[in-house]
Amino acid sequence: MHPLFQYINKHSSTEISKEDFDVVIKHFVPQKIRKKQYLLQKGEICEHFIFITKGALRQYYLDEKGVERIVNLFVEDCWVVDHDSYVNFTPSLFYIDAWEDCELLYISKKNILKLTEEIPSLKDLLLNLIVTCNIATQRRITSINLTAKKRYDWFVETYPFFVNRFPQHIIASYLGITKDTLSRLLNK
């Protein structure tokens, strides 16, 4: 069974039929990218919604000192997009690159809009994604006020699948702590 078919039926309250999925998948463009290859760089317009079938990616920006600040981490069965750039057609403030070799499915805004009008399960899925993204953002914002230990514990509980996929310095940046602080926490 195709991973996107499984994802849609898992995350939509309306199941997608095999026939509808055959229509949907024709609107996606499969692409393989290598580790360290960019999907998006600062200043570019994010023109696609991307579904990960294999691999891991990260979204980050460079602060005023040139230090990478991780905004999001992604693995299989995640959607990757710079929402602001995609929705408002504005230059991105972020970089998105592959942490591992990846297999991806790209879909344009035009095709998403077309499919959500034609296939109810996709419209339901898109609304679910918006709500899920907002909830995740709220939870992440509230975690900022936690101690470094509690923040790491929250991360492990919420995203256990990231722990073995990304190195400590990436996780530390995501949590807004130094890699030395994270190393001390893990050695206790």
What the chain holds in terms of domains, given with CATH numbers, is 3-117 (2.60.120.10)
Tell me which residue of 11, 84, 100 sits closest to 52, measured CA to CA: 100
Tell me which residue of 96, 79, 97 sits closest to 28, measured CA to CA: 79
The answer to whether residues 181 and 165 touch, using CB atoms and an 8 Å cutoff, is no
Structure confidence at residue 161 (pLDDT): 92
What are the residue ranges in the chain where pLDDT is below 50? none
pLDDT digits (tens, 9 = 90+) for 124-144: 888 888 888 889 889 888 888
Structure confidence at residue 73 (pLDDT): 96
Structure confidence at residue 47 (pLDDT): 95
* Whole-number Å distance between alpha carbons of 160 and 157: 6
pTM: 0.91
* Whole-number Å distance between alpha carbons of 61 and 22: 37
Structure confidence at residue 111 (pLDDT): 95
Tell me which residue of 52, 41, 19, 30 sits closest to 118, measured CA to CA: 19
